Amino acid sequence: MSESSGSSPAGVAEPTGVGSYFVANYPPFSVWTKERVETEALPALHAPPSDGVPLGVYLHVPFCRKRCHFCYFRVYTDKNADEINGYLDTLVREMEMYSRLEAVGGRELDFVYFGGGTPSFLSSRQLDGLVARLRAIMPWDAAREITFECEPGTLTAGKLSVIRDLGVTRLSLGIENFDDRILDLNGRAHRSPEIHAAYDRARALDFPTINVDLIAGMLGETDDTWQKSVDAVVKLAPDSVTIYQMELPFNTTISSDILNGSGRFADPVADWATKRRWVGEAFDALESAGYAVRTAYAAVRDPVTSFLYTDRLWQGADMAGLGVASFGHISGVHVQNFDRWETYSGAVEGGELPLARAYGQSDEERMIREFILQLKRGAVRSEYFRTKHGVDPGQRFTRQLASLRSAGYVSTLNDEEIVLSRDGLLRVDTLLPGFFLPEHSGVRYT
């Protein structure tokens, strides 16, 4: 699939090498091109949308107090107040452009996602002003979900109150770990006391959903520290827990250290077998506490708790991605913005959509994309694909599914559903490239 698949047999220790692991989309990003912006993206944006397809907005806030050593997103830690305000102005202008496009303008927003970076890095005044201007362009009063990512150390009581007043329905706290040494080793800005203060303040404000993130396998992680983090999460009892397995794409500080052999980081990232075991142990503990495992990465306290952002995207929803390096998806066409501050801002200031590359999917590619992303839920309903795509996935992927069942990664395979075993779910990202079209197999993912 990628440069570091982690696809060795169960129980075999495989070091975490440099390369992409997490399958976020299809076809691979590396086949998206600049030329397709003109030939595929712009025509789709200037055409009417498909009936019944929901629309969301992703807003990238690329500012952080520190850059984590495992971070591969476009973030900045050196921007002053004037530069930040200028970026927010650019976000607003970009939304104005989208609101004038036939594929987007006049449609109700189903979900809104503030991601980063660190959206909670912004001041209360900046947040108030930004949201007021955005909602004046594309109102989201009818949005079913508004998600806001936070770093615990940036959350004062006053700022949390402002975030709640903005209508945020899903507050996501990037905790990652409760051990201060591990947080320090991995370059996190916050420390454990800030976690509890932020969580308690957020809970007192009665956010509809509070999610907390953990990462299994960070630098310095041990069985003992991982168990303590899991115990701490169970004690907090958030509505949702998201757990990722540490990966090392090329543009992380840790990856650079490995490739250059500089030896900056003495503590290793855990191997894949250990990370899968740790996530499995966390899921077991959460299930014992009354949670239900909802996807390969998430457990929820109430089985009806949703994460509309992923639910919609995994079913082919449209999404306008605003901000530097942001990804979007409109009418079956993938797009990504320029990934540099100057080129992104310059395009918007020049009155042009800041699109750097695009890819228009074929009908078969759309079906494959939805199938592999929905497989991350652990179960795929065949009727959905027969109705929407005219394809029975059990027949379309007979060979791949038979192989996975033989390996113990598929537990149920019949006309109604395809269900992964727990072992299959924990390694799902290593299994998905097996469903790629031949021309996308073995290519660099990003």
Predicted confidence (pLDDT) per residue in 237-282, tens digit: 999 999 999 999 999 999 999 999 888 998 889 999 999 999 999 9
Whether 23 contacts 245, CB under 8 Å: no
Query: What's the pLDDT tens digit per position in 347-377?
Result: 999 999 999 999 999 999 999 999 999 999 9
Digitized pLDDT (tens) for each residue of the chain, 446 residues in all: 334 444 444 444 589 999 999 999 999 999 999 999 999 999 999 999 999 999 999 999 999 999 999 999 999 999 999 999 999 999 999 999 999 999 999 999 999 999 999 999 999 999 999 999 999 999 999 999 999 999 999 999 999 999 999 999 999 999 999 999 999 999 999 999 999 999 999 999 999 999 999 999 999 999 999 999 999 999 999 999 999 999 999 999 999 999 998 889 988 899 999 999 999 999 999 999 999 999 999 999 999 898 999 999 999 999 999 999 999 999 999 999 999 999 999 999 999 999 999 999 999 999 999 999 999 999 999 999 999 999 999 999 999 999 999 999 999 999 999 999 999 999 999 999 999 999 999 899 99
Q: What is the pTM of this model?
A: 0.95
Rounded to an integer, what distance in angstroms lies between the CA atom of residue 347 and that of residue 324? 11
3-state secondary structure 276-307: HHHHHHHHHHHHHCCCEECCCCEEECCCCCCC
- CATH 3.80.30.20 domain position(s) in the chain: 29-312
3-state secondary structure 80-123: CHHHHHHHHHHHHHHHHHHHCCCCCCCCCCCEEEEEECCHHHCC
Domain 363-446 class in CATH = mainly alpha
Q: Which helix (H) or strand (E) holds 374?
A: helix 363-374
Rounded to an integer, what distance in angstroms lies between the CA atom of residue 68 and that of residue 388? 41
Rounded to an integer, what distance in angstroms lies between the CA atom of residue 384 and that of residue 392? 9
Question: What is the share, in percent, of the chain residues with pLDDT greater than 70?
Answer: 97
* Helical residues (DSSP H) of 206-271, grouped into ranges: 223-236, 253-260
Q: Which superfamily is assigned to 29-312 in CATH?
A: tm_1862 like domain (3.80.30.20)
Q: Which two tokens stand for residue 393?
A: 């996935």
Q: Which amino acid does the sequence have at 176?
A: E
- CATH 1.10.10.920 domain position(s) in the chain: 363-446
3-class state of residue 128 by DSSP: helix
